[in-house]
Structure 1
Amino acid sequence: MRLGVFPLPLILLPGGKTRLRIFEPRYIRLVKQAVTGEGFALSSYLPEAENNSSELAAWVEIVDFSILEDGLLSIDVQAQSMVKLTQFELENDGLRFASAKQVKHWASQTSSDKTKLLAQSLSRFFSKIPEYESLYPSPKYDEPAWVCARLVELLPLSIERKLQFAQPESFERCVNFLHTVINGEKNSDLFQFQTRNYN
């Protein structure tokens, strides 16, 4: 399939949501097409990469939208799966399109002592970040893959590091990494959410 591509300095994993404010004409066009089509690919912006985009991206659908007081369009998107992007094309207005093929991410996982502790940490983070918590009215704290994916999205890590956990066989490595980082971090103020404004 062919999807519009929106490269942003973030990563979204399956089940993840984010809120975007849209004002640049090319991305307004992308949103209009996504509403009536198959969604779009939210990739990670990599300034040194060809097309400034990661090859792995989240295939997202728009789940909510509104017009803000300042006239900007606000959309909530949710990642349905990961896709691999190839054959990029740049249209006249600067909007990118690419061929997208679905790829597997993490399989369903069984809870362990480590993932239960991580779920407790995520719940505490959500309680401190109401803007982020509001995106997830029914959090899946009993699903280890969902919990770990949300923590990866929240952690203040480089995009390159986060992309390591977009790989399909990275779950156990991710759990160990998160467990070490969060248990060794005394101050959860690192986990801050701001409404994202991208053009």
Structure 2
Amino acid sequence: MSPFSGWGRVEDLQGGLEKNLPKRAIVLDAAALILGFTEIEDAVAVTSSKVLEEARDRDARYRALAAREGGLIKVIEPEPAYVSEVREVARRLGEIELSDADVSVIALALQLSRQGWDTCILTSDYSIQNLASRLGLMVKPILHKGIRRMISWEVYCGACGWSGDGKPGNPCPKCGHALKRRPRRESR
């Protein structure tokens, strides 16, 4: 059994809030959790079990477990419909390198936001920032200034010029060279 089992649902957050507090949630990715961004004034810090499982080294796992056991974070799983929606938008934007943990962070923030929560994602990951911004979610970058603009990606072949659905590194369906990824030219 995983040390991170025992997660809850979004509805479980309601019981932990006092009636007069606003419904504010800070959704933490692995970097935010590991760096200790768990004590947020007037907000509930939440994450998913997939984020906790990304804490691979001993110290990071200890900090993650201590934050959970100490009540500093709530571990909530997003509903599958939100995960599917995030994956579909990520596919359309070419954000194909998101981990399951990254998708769960965005899906959890999207779910909470649509359920009336004032939600913000804390992350250092540019792909999370890009996709979350496209979904209209608030993002607070840590460790750097954050994204300057939103990007859609395209997969292409540098040898023959083919572009379309594919994964960087896979062979081009037209000529066999390795596919690459680049920012899509935005129409103005």
Higher Rg? 2
Give the TM-score taking structure 1 as reference length. 0.27
